[in-house]
Amino acid sequence: MSTRKWILMDKLSSTHSQYLKASLYSYFNVQKPLGKFLPNGYHLLYFNPKHEETELSKDGYDSHQEPNDFQFKRRLWAGGKLDFIKPIEYNQESVCVESILASKKLGNNHIITTEREVISQGDISLIEKRTLAYTTDLYKRLEPQYSNKIPLYTHELKPTDTLLLRYSGLTFNSHKIHYNKTYAKQEGYPTTLVHGPLSITLLLEWVDSLFGGLIIKSFQYKNIAPLFANETLKLALSEDSHNKFSVWIENSQGELCVNGTIEVEEIQ
């Protein structure tokens, strides 16, 4: 890590969002057209580093935030939080200021937490925290966890290789575990993995299709276990209070893979 702060510019063209909408249409029952503002989670298509291929790590991912002097074998998107402060309008020159909040070594793991502030039309519109884990261990299946909540709504879908390839392209993400099965198996996985940010987008897109008249204020989540391509996944939601929902994703065995909390406010 040569520096601890990065400035990323983007014009926020709606074209990328239209491609993502087209990619997700077949996965949800409600097909909402794009409006004037970015849907929740679509900011992940923008403000991505534009590194040359020679600047990438051997796993295909960006190397500029890797821990120094730590020979990791895998990197994982472990979790994060999104605070939606103000709607982000399309076709506006916007800025993302990214900085490293924490970097610590825990046994065979090195944990790095970053913060992103998205500034559009002069105002901070979104604050995102991301936690990435770098580990010296190859993947091995851990003791499964299960949700103890009773879902109010559920939705099943099966992310295909095509969806993963499209999302990799739209986010300029060349991490090999998402499209190269041979490489994924070298890291111990049975096949390619659904992107951490894609799982977030799927949950947010689904919640948006369920409810009208609600504004999401924040979304905090943790990635507990990997989601694999071409596996049937179950998205679930339960209501904790009038303005707070629990959301999660289960794999085909019913095991908990992504767990999160969404806070909303009613439109006045």
Domain limits, the chain: 5-266
**pLDDT at 267 (0 to 100):** 53
**pLDDT at 68 (0 to 100):** 67
Under DSSP, is residue 252 helix (H, G, I), strand (E, B) or coil?
coil
Average of per-residue pLDDT across 125-138: 93
pLDDT at 67 > cutoff 80 = no
Q: Residue 46 — very low, low, confident or very high, per pLDDT cuts 50/70/90?
A: very high
Residues 255 and 264: their CA atoms lie apart, in Å, by: 26
**pLDDT at 60 (0 to 100):** 64
**H helices then E strands: how many in the chain?**
4, 10
Average of per-residue pLDDT across 21-45: 92
Residues 192 and 163: their CA atoms lie apart, in Å, by: 12
Q: 5-266: what fold?
A: Thiol Ester Dehydrase; Chain A (3.10.129)
In the numeric block, which tokens belong to residue 31?
Answer: 């097909």
**pLDDT at 92 (0 to 100):** 94
pLDDT at 27 > cutoff 60 = yes
Amino acid at 107: G
121: left (phi > 0), else alpha (psi -120 to 50), else beta? left
pLDDT at 108 > cutoff 90 = no
What is the per-residue pLDDT across 211-249, written as a single tens digit (0 to 9) for each? 877 899 999 999 999 999 999 999 999 999 989 999 999
Pairing of strands 5-10, 94-106: antiparallel
Q: Residue 66 — very low, low, confident or very high, per pLDDT cuts 50/70/90?
A: low
**pLDDT at 50 (0 to 100):** 81
What is the per-residue pLDDT across 83-96, written as a single tens digit (0 to 9) for each? 999 999 999 999 99
DSSP string computed for 83-125: EE-SPPBTT--EEEEEEEEEEEEETTEEEEEEEEEEEETTEEE
**pLDDT at 74 (0 to 100):** 82
pLDDT at 140 > cutoff 80 = yes
Average of per-residue pLDDT across 99-105: 91
Side-chain-side CA neighbours of residue 234 (13 Å): 15
What is the value of pTM for the model shown?
A: 0.93
**pLDDT at 98 (0 to 100):** 95
Average of per-residue pLDDT across 155-161: 98
pLDDT at 42 > cutoff 70 = yes
**pLDDT at 149 (0 to 100):** 97
Q: Residue 3 — very low, low, confident or very high, per pLDDT cuts 50/70/90?
A: low
Mean pLDDT, rounded, of the chain: 91
